[in-house]
């Protein structure tokens, strides 16, 4: 069985409160984009994992695909699989690529073993893997609060809009990015802004990580400015960086981003 775990972007990201468990409460829109990894699992005599494509830092035993297997195996004693992840989504990039791999692994193992888990049950397992993971179970645009696992429907469709994602090859650790932010309650009604016209977003829909990271990494700031110069209706860094996205009505010329990792396409 093969699946294609996709990235997400954060449209607006308020970091509203530091919690007693060390995490932060956030408010954001998570929106899926079709920049995808490839994840294959086939039944095997022993459990194994290999990855190709972009090199993944850290010990392969800590890969979220394997963690997903162990999580389900603890409870359901599932048979071993051979896993192959072809990594395409930039890492430490605010795109949630690792989280998507983990969540898709849960969904695949549920299907392959006919575990019959509900969406809520899979989201529960995904929350144990990481704050961003549960979103990828349903994988549709939502308004997110809590540490990233509380979902509220959002009447927002960007279907047909053209999106450009530019990653300047900088790996930013999520933990470090959070430690550089002073949590502040939302000063605007983010959910309402998101459901108003996209033309209202520039300057109003804000990612709280930008304040510190755009200063520390001028290249991120420059990419954001260049997307606006190219006519973006809205541009922002996603998550804890370092990827920047721009939303356009039409395709744009990407020739001045050749030194970066770039993905573009229509939003669903
Ligand atoms: C910032 C966001 C925004 O969507 O995305 P990315 O930039 O990572 O894609 C997420 O909150 C990232 O979620 P995720 O990448 O799953 O983080 P986790 O593995 O759960 O946590 C890594 C570390 O980040 C910090 N953390 C994470 C989530 C959260 N709501 N509060 C936190 O303080 C904690 O220090 C934690 O130890
Ligand atoms: N399947 C995976 N793909 C990418 N990173 C993974 C994966 N499994 C575990 N990780 C770890 O997660 C960290 C970054 O996760 P990623 O989702 O790419 O970043 P971000 O949180 O910025 O979206 C990496 O440092 C890596 O060691």
119-146 pLDDT, tens per residue?
A: 999 999 999 999 999 999 999 999 999 9
8 is an active site residue: yes
Q: Alpha-carbon distance 109 to 83, whole Å?
A: 11
| For residue 233, pLDDT beyond 90 | yes
* Catalytic residue list contains 202: no
Contact by Cβ (8 Å): 177, 44:
no
pLDDT value of position 56: 97
pLDDT in tens, 175-228: 999 999 999 999 999 999 999 999 999 999 999 999 999 999 999 999 999 999
Distance between Cα 57 and ligand 2 center (Å): 8
Q: Cβ atoms within 10 A of the Cβ of 70, count?
A: 10
Report CA(251)–ligand 1 centroid distance (Å). Answer: 32
Is 53 labeled as ligand-binding?
A: no
Q: For ligand 2, what atom is nearest to the CA of residue 240?
A: 22
Regarding the beta carbon of 131 and ligand 2, being less than 6 Å apart is answered: no
CA distance 227 to 252: 9
Q: Which of 33, 89, 91, 101 has most ligand 2 atoms within 8 Å of CB, for mutation?
A: 91
Residue-level pLDDT at 264: 97
pLDDT score for 85: 98
In the prediction, which pLDDT does 168 show? 97
pLDDT (0 to 100) of residue 268: 87
Question: What's the mean pLDDT in 146-166?
Answer: 95
Q: Which domains, and CATH codes, for the chain?
A: 2-152 (3.30.230.10), 162-266 (3.30.70.890)
Cβ–ligand 1 contact at 96 (below 6 Å): yes
Q: E-assigned strands of 157-259? A: 162-167, 234-237, 244-248
Q: Is 97 annotated as a binding residue?
A: yes
Q: Which ligand does the CA of 183 lie closest to?
A: 1
Ligand nearest to the CA of 58: 2
Which of 67, 87, 101, 132 is flagged as catalytic?
132
Q: How many Å lie between the centroid of ligand 1 and the Cα of residue 96?
A: 9
Q: Which residue, among 72, 51, 251, has the nearest Cα to 163 in the 3D structure?
A: 251
- Residue owning tokens 């520390």: 216
Residue 227 is predicted with a pLDDT of 98
| pLDDT tens-digit map of 62-120 | 999 999 999 999 999 999 999 999 999 999 999 999 999 999 999 999 999 999 999 99
Q: Is 123 exposed, middle or buried (0-12, 13-18, 19+ CB in 10 A)?
A: buried
Q: Predicted ipTM?
A: 0.97
Closest ligand to 10 CA? 1
Q: Please work out whether the CB of residue 148 comes within 6 Å of at least one atom of ligand 1.
A: yes
Q: Residue 44 C-alpha to ligand 1 middle, in angstroms?
A: 33
Q: Quick check: 32 pLDDT over 90? A: yes
CB–CB of 164/52 below 8 Å? no
213 in a known ligand binding site: no
At 28 the pLDDT is 98
| β 150-152/24-36 pair status | unpaired
- Does residue 95 have a known ligand-binding role? yes
DSSP secondary structure, 4-33, as one string: --EEEEEEEEEEEEE-TTS-EEEEEEEEEE
């Amino acid at each position: 069985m093969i699946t294609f775990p996709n990235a997400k972007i954060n449209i607006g990201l308020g970091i509203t409160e530091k919690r007693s468990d060390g995490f932060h409460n956030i408010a954001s829109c998570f929106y899926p984009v079709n920049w995808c990894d490839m994840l294959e699992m086939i039944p095997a005599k022993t459990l194994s994992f290999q990855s190709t494509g972009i090199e993944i830092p850290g010990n392969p035993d800590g890969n979220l695909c394997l963690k997903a297997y162990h999580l389900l195996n603890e409870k359901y004693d599932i048979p071993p699989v051979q896993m192959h992840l072809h990594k395409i989504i930039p890492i430490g990039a605010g795109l949630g690529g690792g989280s998507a791999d983990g969540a898709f692994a849960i969904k695949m193992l549920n299907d392959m073993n006919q575990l019959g888990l509900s969406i809520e049950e899979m989201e529960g397992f995904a929350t144990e893997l990481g704050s961003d993971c549960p979103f990828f179970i349903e994988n549709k645009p939502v308004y997110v609060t809590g540490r990233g696992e509380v979902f509220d429907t959002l009447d927002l469709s960007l279907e047909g809009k053209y999106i450009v994602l530019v990653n300047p090859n900088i790996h930013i650790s999520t933990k470090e990015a959070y430690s550089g932010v002073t949590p502040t309650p939302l000063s605007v009604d983010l959910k309402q802004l998101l459901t108003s016209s996209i033309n209202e977003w520039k300057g109003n829909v804000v990612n709280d990580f930008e304040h510190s990271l755009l200063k520390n990494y001028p290249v991120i700031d420059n990419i954001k400015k260049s997307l606006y110069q190219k006519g973006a209706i809205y541009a922002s860094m996603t998550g804890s960086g370092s990827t920047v996205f721009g939303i356009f009505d039409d395709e744009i010329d990407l020739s001045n981003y050749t030194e970066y990792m770039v993905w573009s396409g229509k939003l669903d």
